[in-house]
Structure 1
Amino acid sequence: MKISKSLAGQIAQEMMSVVPYNINVMDESGFIVGSGDLKRVGTLHEGARIAIQSGHVFEVYEDGSGMKPGVNEPIIIDHKVLGVVGITGHPDEVRPFSKLVRVTTILLIEQEARNKLEQDERVKRVKFYHELSYRKEAYDLEFLERAGSYGLDLKKKCWAILVEGDVNGKEFKNVFRSYPHYWNLENDKAVFFITDVFLYKELIGKLNSCANVGRIGSGEAEELAAYSLEQAQAAISVGSRVDPLKILYTYEELRFLIHLSYDGAERPGTIYALLDQSGDKTGLIETLQVFIAENGDHNRTVQKLNIHRNTLNYRLNRIHTLTGKNPRNYMELFELLCGLMWRK
């Protein structure tokens, strides 16, 4: 801990606004680093040097030996002399003020040290969450320990929840205060990292009802949070084009369209593998083909297949159960249609 020049100058100026004498602040070597008399800044203060060596108050009553009358109080914190604060004037006159000036100086130095520690911690925290957002290498022990120091268990899979909106709004601030694993990506974007499924669902609910939130994108739980964040970004990018009135877009729901939009790499042949493995594969696939051909018209579908309406409903429900895709939902029906085209 040291006395910075900026703080020394601040101490001298502020104390002189309430104490009617010149104030000098000296560093650990006795050089003046702050003073009401700017011409003396940078010069050696002999009275301060003596106070530092003795560790006690040093008073000067007369001019001489390069010293002016005054009281020089050593600044001691944690049993270490950090410098000296001096008041120029006859000791009998300025002594009543010297203790006040010394105590105030110590408080200001300690406050500056706390502020610096807090600032350093904020910088470290920002660096950590920045790395967490973009790191695509396996987490090493040191990174896991850093995460643990913030209360984030990265031994578990992590969800990234991306939020667009007024991230400085009052309602939004009330939300993020309860979820510390949070980082501002940009002025209007923020990301939360969650490793607990209960907290994930709880946070999604709160964000969904927050007036300051415009859009929410959620990735899946991944070993590396950066992948989940990429998924959340893609979910907003693709989902907002498909359904711009929605607030919440999840990668799980939009996976097919995201891959189709970006590279078409994920072709849902596995959807039909599930139907092929079912006991009634011919009936289910034929039903789906006719249902699509008849534009989802139930009456024409049952007539074409020559089946009862209840049988059609059963088969559509069965397709939904086996594939996870609902033929009655236009977007999911489109995915099933693509699956038919790509089916081997």
Structure 2
Amino acid sequence: MELSKFTAQKIVQKMMEVIPYNINVMDEDGIIIGSGDIKRVGDAHEGARKAIENCAINEVYDDKEGMKPGVNEPIILKDKVIGVIGITGHPDEVRRFSKLVRVTAVLLIEQAKANEEVQNKRLNMQKFYQELAHRKNEYDEEFYEKAKSYGLDITKKCQTIVVDGDLNSKEFKRICQGYSNYFDLENNKTVFFITNDHEYNTVLNNLKDSKVVNKISLGGQQDIAAVSLENAQMAMEFGMKMKPSYKIYNYEEFKFFIHLSYDNKESLVSLFANLDKSGNNIELIETLQAYIEENGDINNVANKLNIHRNTLNYRLERIHKLTGKNPKTFLELFELLYGLIWR
């Protein structure tokens, strides 16, 4: 194990809080990498080098050959000298602190090593979920085993749940407790990977009931997790345009619209050019969305928007005039819907 500068300086700070002497920490080559006298960092320490060479405590009683009086004790881990602890002062005065400093240093070094191992494990886990979220080719045995080590059986079909909301809140973190197979996406959303039906229903119900969750999207069962994730992301993208007031979007519900394609989508998008230039464009878009959500039921749409039926009809006529498409005509409404999606 290598003794880092960060850990060395931490040892110095901790020990100088309780010991009234300067502490130096040297690496395996006798170079000062931590010190109460910051100007000495980077200097060679001859007392430390002798302690390393003899693998034993080196005591210096007088100023000589660039050495100050003090006690220099090697730090030995697994029969290897990884550094030296030096206490500046007359050996008869500081010797009694030497063992305490060395034991504390070893504890701090082992703690740093344990923290590094935890961090590496966390990074490896994130790398796995990153690959799981993007890998669309067939899994190999090594990947199956890696997934299993994280408690995920991808020999079974995988279902994904994509969540949007206040993901840093205590309530959301509480939902995540006890379930490790989730991953934070680049667009401030979180995806849950699940291969167990009971677990899927439990997580979904908890998310449904949560006030900090704004939107939930379901990708359906797939042999490849990344495909389910892509489905869930597309379902949320389409769902928020087609049914913005809904909380849950299921890929199966929007599958037809997602798979439907046009050679030239620009003509659909251009339907909204005049509408977007109007002063009340947001109001008209919201009206169209509500009209779609309520399946064209005038009373329900008016109630949803909290407006009079006459106001609603005026807005629909306005949409017709600006886009050239009548929302009350099924096929033209379909064109408006797809123009809205690709807008």
Fold match (TM-score > 0.5): yes
Do the aligned residues in 2 keep the contact of 1:31 with 1:45 (CA within 8 Å)?
Answer: yes
Do the aligned residues in 2 keep the contact of 1:162 with 1:189 (CA within 8 Å)?
Answer: yes
1:21 aligns with 2:13: no
Show the counterpart of 2:36: 36
Show the counterpart of 1:164: 164
Show the counterpart of 2:143: 143
Cα distance in structure 1, aligned partners of 2:29 and 2:240: 64
Q: Secondary structure at the match of 2:171?
A: helix
Which amino acid in the other structure matches residue 42 of structure 1? G
Which amino acid in the other structure matches residue 63 of structure 1? D
Aligned pairs (5 A) from 1:73-152: 73-152=73-152
Cα distance in structure 1, aligned partners of 2:179 and 2:119: 20
Aligned pairs (5 A) from 1:1-344: 1-186=1-186, 188-260=188-260, 262=261
Gaps of 5+ in 1: 265-294, 296-333, 336-344
Cα distance in structure 2, aligned partners of 1:239 and 1:37: 62
- The alpha-carbon deviation at position 86 of structure 1 amounts to 0.7
- The alpha-carbon deviation at position 83 of structure 1 amounts to 0.8
* Identical positions, percent: 55
- The alpha-carbon deviation at position 73 of structure 1 amounts to 1.5
- The alpha-carbon deviation at position 38 of structure 1 amounts to 3.3
Which amino acid in the other structure matches residue 218 of structure 2? S
Larger Rg: 1
Cα distance in structure 1, aligned partners of 2:238 and 2:191: 18
Do the aligned residues in 2 keep the contact of 1:72 with 1:84 (CA within 8 Å)?
Answer: yes
Show the counterpart of 2:310: none
Q: Secondary structure at the match of 1:112?
A: helix
Aligned residues: CA RMSD: 2.4
Do the aligned residues in 2 keep the contact of 1:232 with 1:251 (CA within 8 Å)?
Answer: yes
Gaps of 5+ in 2: 264-294, 296-332, 335-343
TM-score (norm 2): 0.72
Do the aligned residues in 2 keep the contact of 1:183 with 1:190 (CA within 8 Å)?
Answer: yes
For residues 42-87 of structure 1, give each alpha carbon's deviation from its aligned partner in whole angstroms, at most 9, with x where no partner exists.
3332222222233332222233344322111211222321111010
Q: Secondary structure at the match of 1:221?
A: strand
Number of equivalences: 267
Which amino acid in the other structure matches residue 56 of structure 1? A
Cα distance in structure 2, aligned partners of 1:204 and 1:126: 22
Do the aligned residues in 2 keep the contact of 1:182 with 1:191 (CA within 8 Å)?
Answer: yes
Do the aligned residues in 2 keep the contact of 1:166 with 1:188 (CA within 8 Å)?
Answer: no
- The alpha-carbon deviation at position 145 of structure 1 amounts to 1.9
- The alpha-carbon deviation at position 2 of structure 1 amounts to 1.1
Cα distance in structure 2, aligned partners of 1:66 and 1:243: 77
